[in-house]
A and B are shown apart, each in its own frame.
Chain A
Amino acid sequence: MARLLDKRLLIITGKGGTGKSTVSAAAALVSAREGRRTLVCEVNAKDRVTQLLGLPPAGPELTSLAENLWAVNIRPDDAMREYALMTLRLESIYKAVFENRFVRYFLRFVPSLQELVMLGKVLYHLQQKLPDGSDRFDTIVLDAPATGHAISFLSVPRVLAQTVPPGAMLREAERMRALLEDAATTAAILVSLPEEMPVTETIELGAGLREREIQPQAAVLNSFTAPRFGESDLAALAARKRLLLVAREHRRLSELSRQSRETLERGLKLPVLTVARRYERRFAREAVEEIASELEPGLKAGR
């Protein structure tokens, strides 16, 4: 019975605005709390995860956030440079070649190369070793791009493996594809909201990833409203027009939350973890800690 937390790579994805970064930060906290060396990776984003944890931006270098917890923000230019340096070994060669105006344009014109090197960096950290031969990170949490782009981003190795002729790029693409498509190593977690369209899109995203052999293994339903007003409450409020609306609106939200959970469970055939809707003015670290506690049982449950 493998637990989600035992996967080496957790890909957190979903429609924009569903709270992917929050869920990424919370999942990373749960993992680090358990004593697993955890790296949270953002891809070409604005350091949202470190911001949520109340910490300064991680930037392109590995940054230690807390015990067992590191962050890195991967940007295309830095990733390209690192990849090139790793392959070429010499800074001077890199400069001569990659700072050439034409070469820069050339690399930019191959759109998939940027995705490949960014994803390559994520997977490089996945395979990094400590001097004693153990993995440098037990778990990597990837805060992946939003819906449509997640599929194109994550399927770059697959598409390249089918298009490029034999060579270094093909080997790299195939290596990455093998890691992403291994369900024992990698799990995608789909973040959704209790609204009709996001739920539909989450189910489509799940199907899209499965088609590309990347296995979603759980969904997170964010902004969940638990039931509060019963039938008798509504009956008692029958004469109070405004308050009846207040109660009905709450009922509508909790109903929508319940339905969304059921629809996701049915449509994805996956466990759905819930995170309660929140009302604080500023989203601070305590909020992320609380969300981590909400997600913890689900992340630790065996499947």
Chain B
Amino acid sequence: MSGSARPSRTGEAAAGNPLSEALRRNDVLVCVGEGGVGKTTIAATIALRAAVEGRRSMVCTIDPARRLANSLGLSELGNAESRIPAEHLRAAGLPADAPIYAMMLDTKRTWDEFVERYAPADKREQILASRFYQSLSTALAGSQEYIAMEKLWQLHSRKDYQLIVLDTPPTSHALDFLDAPNRVLDFLDNDAARWLLRPALVAGRWGLQLFSFGGSYMAKTLAKLTGTDTLRELAEFMLAISGMNESFRERASQVRELLAADRTSFVLVSSPRIEGIEEVAQFQRVLQQNHMSIAAVVLNRVQPPPLPSDWAEAAREEGPLRAKLEATLEERRRAAERDAEAIAAIRSVCAPTPLIEVPALPTDVHDLISLWRTGRFLFGEERLEAAQW
């Protein structure tokens, strides 16, 4: 099942296939990339391969879309970790005992669990009942990243899995995800925030104490924007959760350590489009700044070109059929050329990170068979040319 030594189209030896090595060496792989590039598919493919190699693996998505459920043939995914049923694996011709698990992060429930675990007992009710908590923990943007890191850390610290593959939300949000531990720490380490919290803690209530911060002028001005009550309620909420600050701080730095750990690596998934180049460069930069490592850049759904013999054969046909065939081959040629051009450009900004090309498969990848097939390319056992329709 392991990668063979066949060279890929671009000359990278499959023997040292960066992902085969990464899935054996790492215990956390984080898949990042723009929406729609097939990130979830790649995450599931990696977890499936690791499981078939006998590693207990978990694929966890924080993307609100239900793609993963479809890909894994599960109708419902929730915060619950579920094992992919043996009959699904068997039906796909894979070892039925491959230990692969999947879950989709339930943001609200994970927040609740976090509060229940870490909030001081006398504050728990107040936090859970706060309208700010309600919106923070449900629909509102930004909260996913905060809580996803908590979940990743929990899963990792339980040591139940030998490999956790984490799928993330689209680009700007994937960067937000990386930034989330820093953001939390920044906020909690802020002197002004502590200064603001202290008198209120001493007074035991907020009220006017908040508005005396920095001279009432500043708070009053702020209140013009948010409304006085909003500001006060928010302050009360922040006071209530301040009891959790230590837990937040500790957890955020643990997560930061986990993401930068030797056995954690990122996989950047992109499409073979010239527009992707900036994204690849940006992610590389951010990961480097954070002392995090990239296992590979995966370019998904690359179109292979038609063979010269296809043109010769088409020329032997006549009339409208020949025209239709030539039009189709021309489209395929142009699509392949477009991809090849983009790949060359991305390769130039990507080095020394290995670049892996996965072809567009003739079927929508949403079942275990096609996930496995995707893996054959991802792990360098099949070459792009082999994907000819």
Contacts and interface: CB of A to CB of B under 8 A. Distances in A.
Interface of A: 15-18, 44, 46, 48, 83-84, 87-88, 93, 96-97, 100-103, 105-106, 108-115, 146-149, 151-153, 155-156, 159-160, 163-170, 195-198, 200-201, 204, 228-229, 233, 236-237, 240, 242-243, 245-250, 252, 279-282
B364 A233 contact: no
Contacts of B131: 163-164
A72 to B, nearest CB: 18
A109 B187 contact: yes
A229 B324 CA distance: 7
Given A103-B218, A196-B366, A87 B227 contact: no
A211 B386 CA distance: 46
A15 B36 contact: yes
Contact of A110 (B213, B234, B278, B338): B234
B274 interface: yes
A43 to B, nearest CB: 10
B36 A18 contact: yes
B142 A15 contact: no
A17 B34 contact: yes
A195 B140 contact: no
Contact of A242 (B64, B141, B309): B309
Nearest to A195: B364
B310 interface: yes
Given A17-B34, A152-B140, A156-B140, A281 B364 contact: no
A281 B22 CA distance: 34
B313 A228 contact: no
Interface string B172-203: 11000000000100110010110110000000
A166 to B, nearest CB: 6
A279 B234 contact: no
12 contacts: A84-B225, A105-B193, A149-B169, A151-B64, A159-B138, A163-B132, A201-B67, A233-B324, A240-B313, A279-B331, A280-B334, A281-B334
Contacts of A15: 35-36, 65
B65 A201 contact: yes
A51 to B, nearest CB: 8
Given A108-B183, A242-B309, A279-B335, A197 B366 contact: yes
B173 A149 contact: yes
A148 B218 CA distance: 36
Contacts of B125: none
Given A88-B221, A105-B186, A279-B338, A163 B324 contact: no
Contacts, number: 197
B314 interface: yes
Contacts of A16: 34-37, 170-171
B167 to A, nearest CB: 12
A101 B190 contact: yes
Contact of B141 (A18, A152, A229): A152
B307 A204 contact: no
A102 B234 contact: no
Contacts of A166: 227, 229
B190 A250 contact: no
Give the interface SS of chain A, mostly helix, strand, loop or mixed: helix
B141 A100 contact: no
Nearest to A18: B36
B389 A97 contact: no
Nearest to A163: B131
B34 A163 contact: no
B228 interface: yes
Contacts of A87: 224-225
Nearest to B303: A279
A84 B225 CA distance: 7
A227 to B, nearest CB: 11
B142 A159 contact: no
A104 to B, nearest CB: 9
Contacts of A106: 193, 222
A245 B389 CA distance: 6
Contacts of B70: 196-197, 200
Contacts of B309: 242
Nearest to B329: A246
B205 interface: no
Given A147-B35, A200-B70, A103 B222 contact: yes
A15 B313 CA distance: 39
B230 interface: yes
A246 B222 contact: no
A159 to B, nearest CB: 5
A167 B226 contact: yes
Contact of A148 (B63, B226, B338): B63
Contacts of B196: 102
Given A15-B35, A163-B134, A246-B328, A155 B313 contact: no
Contact of A167 (B66, B187, B227, B325): B227
B290 interface: no
A159 B36 contact: no
B120 interface: no
Interface in B34-84: 34-37, 63-67, 70
Given A153-B141, A246-B329, A250-B328, A167 B230 contact: yes
Given A170-B227, A237-B321, 17 more contacts: A16-B34, A16-B37, A46-B278, A100-B192, A102-B214, A109-B238, A148-B63, A152-B141, A153-B141, A159-B139, A160-B135, A195-B364, A228-B328, A233-B321, A236-B321, A237-B317, A281-B338
Interface string B118-153: 000000000000011011101111110000000000
A165 B70 CA distance: 41
